[in-house]
Every structure is written in C-alpha cells, then in structure tokens.
Amino acid sequence: MKIVGKHIVKGSYVRRRTEDMWHLYNLIQEVKRLRTTPLAQGSETDRVQNVSATGSSESHRVRTNLTLQVTRIAFTPPVTPTTGASDASASTPVEATASLQITGRVMGAFHTLDIESNRDVRIEKLEWDSISLERLKEASLPGRGAEVGAIVCGEGTAAFCLLSQHMTVVLQRIDVPVPRKRAGSVTAHEKGLARFYDTLYQSFLRHIPYANPTLRAIVIASPGWVRDAVFDHIMAQATKAGNKALLSVRQKFMRVHVNSPHVHSLVEVLKSPEVVAQLKETKFAREGIMLDNFFKMLASDEQRAWYGPDHVALAVDRGAVGTLLISDELFRAGDPEVRRRYVSLVEGVREKRGEVLMFSSMHESGQQLNQITGIAAILTFPLDIEVVEAEEREAKEEERKRVEANDVS
C-alpha cells in the first residue's frame, strides 16, 4: 500500500494491492454515532444522459468522485473455485482477487463504491486511534508480500495457498479423480495419479512465486506419503524441463505431515518443529505458536490462561498480562465505545511491558481465536477468577456506599 498523502486526524490517501483491501476493510468502520462519522472518498462510474435541441438523447458513462458517509462495508476474500484437470492445465491462470464494497449516504441517497486496485481512495474520520495508525504504518512498509507458499494435498486433491502477514489466500483448488487401486485395475490407478501430478505441477508453476526472494518457504503438507511423491514429481519435471530457477530454490521446500488434506490443516503446519525453526520470526507463525501455548496453559494451569473481554480486562487492571492475544475482528465493532475499550486494553498491556499479538481473522489461527471470544491472555502470575471478581464486586459496593454517604451529607 502506498500512502500518497497523509494528514492524521483529518484523512489519509492510500493505493491498493490485494492484501491492502484487507487493511482498508479494517481501517474503515461503519457509522454508528455521528461524532465519529468516517468518510470514504473514491471514484465511481455514473451514467450521464445528454438531450439535444431536437429532443434526441444519448447516454454515456463518466467517472466521478464521491464522498460517502459509510453505513456498510463488505469484504470478499480472494478464493479461486475448484477446478479439474483440464481447467488447471489451461495456459492462462485464474486470478484470485479480493473485493471491497463500501455503501454510504451521499446527497441524501445511498451509493456503493467498488474499490479497485491501483486507484486512490481517501479515508476521513475524526479519530485515528493507535491501532489504526499502527495498521496504516505496517501496510505501507516496503518489501511486503507473500512469505510462504503452501500446497495442502491428498490423493487427487490439492489447495494452493500464499501466506502473508495478514492473509491466507487460497489461489486454486484442484480435484482430479483417481480410481482406487484394485486387482486388475492398477493401470487405471496409476494413470489417475499421473494426471493428478501433472495437473498439480502446472498449477504450481502458475500460482506459487517460487523465484520471488520474499518467499521464505514452500510447504507441501499432506497425510501419508503424498507430499513426498508431489515433491519428487515437481523436481523431476523441473529437471526434465531445465527449469533452473525452480531447481535453485530446492532448499525452500519443506514437507510436513498433517492429518487432513484441507486448508485448515495450515494450523498444524505452522506448529510443526521444522516450520517453526524456519519461520519463527514471521508474524503469523508466532501467532500460531502463542495460541498453541495458550491452549496448553489453559489445560495445565487455568489460573494463568484467561479469555473473554471482561476477564481479560480484569487481568490487565491487575498488571498480570504477559501476552495478549486479540483478533482484529474486535476492532471492527460497530460501536465506537467498544472499539475504544479494546484499544485501551492493548495500550494498557503495552504500558506494562506486555506483548500484544494482533491476530488476523484471515488466518486459521485468528479464526480459532475468534471461537473463544477473540481475546485471550497468558498471565505472568496466576490469578483466581472467582477471587478477582469477588474483589471487584466488593470494590464497587464500597464505591456505591461512599457515593450514597456523600449524597446524604
């Protein structure tokens, strides 16, 4: 994302790539209270009709600039539909792109902007909190891009994915029928496997940017032996075709066992020791590790693993939070007061030198965190929830009595 102009508190101008759509989706909030009204400005095509002096008319489309008071925003993630062997081997790849639609009021009417790549959009809102500014800064860092390419596969099925800091993008799914191995039909089984491997190889060449220096690893994950057969076929075909660029990145390939040939198995991939060792510095890998640590702590010492907005807020007040795990979905709440509450929790943990991990709900780990309210904390020392809640009730009761006593006097 390129920031072509910035005036904090008043507005920002940004250009977009695919992942930048996700950042915009998180930066633009719906209107719930007028005093925090955000505006989105962009270009849209409208139809204009001209009427001549003789009464004849003609219409044409012109591009106009609109400024909307946002009432609804919809993000559609980039997912390529499943294709078979004939589709996957086509010479032209199917691009997986995200889309963003912003609906709002302009001149008393509702209008929808379809945000496109490589066009300017301007965001204006009266309040830019620390989380929004952090996201804006992170989105504009140079050199961002996909860090891991992944093939999650089984016999006859495969999903090609790219993992970046904030998104898991499913580029293509292939499904090639492979007959079962039966007595007298071994040839049919082998032919099915050959079609599958050839289809997978062609899809790999088009969708995985293996020559890109920002790609740190290429993971092939599967149950059983499929991952080894896929790797061997890719290397054999690269050798046969004299693909020096692919052969030169052989060391980037990692083969990982998973229990299921589906995209959600990427959570297992990111927790495997070999991947952790290679990608421990990446944002999404650290999130997966810490979420796994939280669940282990919850099972072994529940007084040091708290989740839920109210309980985590109590732990922050006690200065007990060592690591805060929070989903970006919480900062898209419609009520500004709710958003401010979560911003305050993040700032409170950082003030006490705690670590904050902002999970993306476009990653599998973020979706898992959302299943347990979207916020959790690993504490530096144990706290009994019941005792803390009782202390809170006592403190509130004492405050109530003090206020009543002052009113009487």
Domains along the sequence of the chain with CATH: 3-45+62-85+96-139 (2.30.30.870), 148-281 (3.30.420.60), 285-389 (3.30.1330.30)
* pLDDT at residue 392 tops 90: no
Q: What pLDDT is attached to residue 157?
A: 93
**Are the beta carbons of 41 and 5 closer than 8 angstroms?**
no
* pLDDT at residue 230 tops 80: yes
- Of 2-6, 46-50, 52-56, 68-72, the poorest mean pLDDT is in 46-50
The model's pTM is 0.72
Please compute the mean of the pLDDT values over residues 289-317 and round it to a whole number: 93
Q: What pLDDT is attached to residue 36?
A: 32
| Whole-number Å distance between alpha carbons of 132 and 206 | 35
Q: What pLDDT is attached to residue 124?
A: 78
Most confident residue range from 8-22, 248-262, 270-284: 248-262
Left (φ > 0), alpha (ψ -120 to 50) or beta: where does 156 sit?
left
| pLDDT classification of 160: cutoffs 50, 70, 90 | very high
* Residue 259 CA, distance from chain mean position: 23
**Are the beta carbons of 211 and 243 closer than 8 angstroms?**
no
Question: Six-digit token pair at 138?
Answer: 């992170």
**Are the beta carbons of 128 and 137 closer than 8 angstroms?**
no
* pLDDT at residue 146 tops 50: yes
Question: Six-digit token pair at 287?
Answer: 């999130």
* pLDDT at residue 166 tops 60: yes
* pLDDT at residue 406 tops 70: yes
* pLDDT at residue 352 tops 70: yes
Q: What pLDDT is attached to residue 33?
A: 34
**Are the beta carbons of 40 and 48 closer than 8 angstroms?**
no
Tens of pLDDT, residue by residue over 57-67, are 666 565 667 77
| pLDDT classification of 114: cutoffs 50, 70, 90 | confident
**Are the beta carbons of 103 and 67 closer than 8 angstroms?**
no
| pLDDT classification of 19: cutoffs 50, 70, 90 | confident
Q: What pLDDT is attached to residue 158?
A: 94
* pLDDT at residue 4 tops 70: no
Torsion of CA 21, 24, 25, 28, to 10 degrees: -160
Residues listed for the chain: 409
